[in-house]
Amino acid sequence: MLYRFGDQMTSRIERIAITHHQLDLNPAFPASWDTQPRKKFPATVVRIFDQDGNMGIGSGDVMYGFSDYEYLFIGQNPLDLERHNAVLGNIGFHAGRPWPLDIALWDLAGKIRGEACWKMMGGRNQRVRTYASSGVHRGPEDSVQMALHAIERGFPALKLRFGRPSLADDFLVLSAVREAVGDKLELMVDCNQGWRMPWDISRPWNVEKAVEIARKLEKFNVHWMEEPLHRGDYEGYKTLRQQVGIRIAGGELTREEYEFDTLLRNECLDIYQPDVACTLGMEGQRRLAAKVEERGHIFTPHTWGNGVGLAANLHIAAGATSGAGFVEFPYDPPEWSTARRDFLLTETIEPDAHGWVNLSDAPGLGVELNEDVLIATQSKESTWV
Ligand SMILES: [Mg+2]
């Protein structure tokens, strides 16, 4: 137990406000994992206030159905974070995923305590080393340009996306990039087999196919192979990991602590990638990070939302882990720039010249909302004042 905040005297939670926003994307963002180019980037902002006027912020999923359960938080001690996390886990069964509120609760708790979230998480590191996570299917030449840009920008690693109409085309890109960068960049490959858009009914790969592709990836010295199977194919992951040498990553779409425990028990993965905006919340992630590292594996969060979710995931990776893993940094300009990703913040989150993101000592998440932009992009009736 790294902390116990809930028995401290404090003011009470007074209210919660949820607003919805949309940034127009022109030109559109052709996300490699979505067959429909994205013309809008939606964001839900959750604010939680205590009686002293402190405000915590969170963002992520839409918070469908949460209003029915809001009363469970009003009047509660904001520092009772374990209780709130458990209640949110239950709400996640009855309604949509409510994890943005957990992020907001930690931001609020940090502001009340005058402490940064990375410290509250365990304080093991104040910085994290990131990798550029690409999001667009480019051809070989453009992919090489992107990889050279990533080196110039200081990233130590780049994640490429598979999933073009032909696997041969995916390997052409990987081969061209490896040839161009030599050993100056670690390369990861995301197979995105756990991810399905609602209209996408194609079957994920089976273990035989994943083994065959893993062996080819090994020849290109790929650092990890991500989501080569459906998220629930525990037997497949276990077999794959026994048969190949390449590191296997996954877990970005795994929802329950019990499912992560099953992945761990079956030795399914080398790299565990939950996303705090989508699952477990800050406390659940901190607990999972400890379990993953205890077994000698790597915990490094997935993060493909906006800057608030990225900030929360960076605080977890910094404070709660040994710092062994590269952390995802969504970056594929011009289609996916830091300005687009972090549009709801006053400042974009940027790594230094060697790929490190340095976290501040500012209380909570250390990020601020850009209120003008939020007003201009508000998409529904909700206001927070
Ligand atoms: Mg992924």
At 3 the pLDDT is 52
Distance between CA atoms of 56 and 249, rounded to whole angstroms?
32
Q: From CA 151, how far away is CA 348, in angstroms rounded?
A: 20
Ligand 1 center to 341 CA (angstroms):
16
Indicate if the pLDDT at residue 62 is higher than 90. yes
Q: What are phi and psi of 159, to 5 degrees?
A: -105, 125
**301: CA distance to ligand 1 center in Å?**
10
CATH (one of 2.40.30.260, 3.20.20.120, 3.60.20.10, 3.30.465.10) for 120-358: 3.20.20.120
Backbone phi and psi for residue 47, each to the nearest 5 degrees, phi listed first? -120, 140
Question: For residues 253 and 272, what is the distance between their CA atoms, to the nearest angstrom?
Answer: 11
- The whole-angstrom separation of Cα 220 and Cα 69 is 50
Tell me how far CA of residue 206 lies from CA of 136, 230, 368, in angstroms. 24, 8, 44
Gap from CA of 302 to ligand 1 centroid (Å): 7
| DSSP result, 249-304 | EE-TT---HHHHHHHHHTT--SEE---TTTSSHHHHHHHHHHHHHHTT-EE-----
User: pLDDT at position 382, please?
Assistant: 60
- C-alpha to C-alpha distance for 122 and 60, rounded to whole angstroms: 23
Spatial distance between the Cα atoms of 89 and 2, rounded to a whole number of angstroms = 20
pLDDT of 321 higher than 50: yes
Q: List CB-based neighbours of ion ligand 1 within 5 Å.
A: 190
Average pLDDT for the chain: 95
What is the 8-class DSSP label of residue 368? -
Percent of the chain with pLDDT over 70: 96
Long-range contacts of 207-212 (CB under 8 A, 24+ apart): 207/233, 207/235, 207/236, 207/239, 207/240, 210/236, 210/240, 211/239, 211/240, 211/243, 211/244
Q: Is 162 helix (H, G, I), strand (E, B) or coil?
A: coil
| Residue in 130, 115, 107 with CA at minimum distance from that of residue 45 | 107
| Per-residue pLDDT, 257 | 94
CA distance 324 to 245: 19
- Coil, strand or helix at 328: strand
Amino acid at 21: H
More confident residue, 34 or 367: 367
Looking at residue 2, its pLDDT comes to 43
**Who has greater pLDDT, 381 or 298?**
298
pLDDT at 9: 65
Provide the pLDDT for residue 248: 98
Tell me, what's the pLDDT at 381? 61
Report whether 141 contacts 189 (CB < 8 A): no
The predicted model gives 273-296 an average pLDDT of 96
Cα–Cα distance measured from residue 380 to residue 348, given in angstroms and rounded to the nearest whole number: 25
Cα 191 to averaged position of ligand 1 atoms, centre (Å): 8
pTM for the model: 0.95
Q: How far is the CA of 55 from the centre of ligand 1 (A)?
A: 32
What number does CATH give the domain 13-114+370-377?
3.30.390.10
State residue 160 phi and psi, 5-degree precision. Answer: -100, 155
200 confidence band (pLDDT: 50, 70, 90): confident
What separation in Å is there between the alpha carbon of 322 and the centre of ligand 1? 22
**Cα separation, 326 vs 355, whole angstroms:** 9
Q: Please state the domain extents for the chain.
A: 13-114+370-377, 120-358
Residue 330: its H or E element: strand 327-330
CA–centroid distance, residue 149 to ligand 1 (Å)? 21
Cα dist. 326→71, 114, 130, 173, 273 in Å?
A: 39, 28, 5, 22, 11
Q: How far is the CA of 295 from the centre of ligand 1 (A)?
A: 22
Q: How confident is the model at residue 260 (pLDDT cuts 50, 70, 90)?
A: very high
State the sign of the Cα–Cα–Cα–Cα dihedral 101, 107, 111, 114: positive
With cut-offs at 50, 70 and 90, classify the pLDDT of residue 1.
very low
Q: Would you state the pLDDT for residue 278?
A: 94
64 beta partners: none
**250 CA → ligand 1 middle, Å:** 7
**Tens of pLDDT along 81-102?**
999 999 999 999 999 999 999 9
Centre of ligand 1 to C-alpha 133, Å, is: 9
Average pLDDT over residues 267-273: 98
Contacting residues for 378 by C-beta, under 8 A, at least 6 apart: 19, 20, 21
Distance 374 CA to ligand 1 centre (A): 28
Q: How confident is the model at residue 197 (pLDDT cuts 50, 70, 90)?
A: confident
Do 148 and 179 contact (CB within 8 A), yes or no? Answer: no
Average pLDDT of the residues in 186-209: 92
pLDDT of residue 383: 61
250-265 average pLDDT score: 96
- Spatial separation of the C-alpha atoms in residues 348 and 279, rounded to whole Å: 24
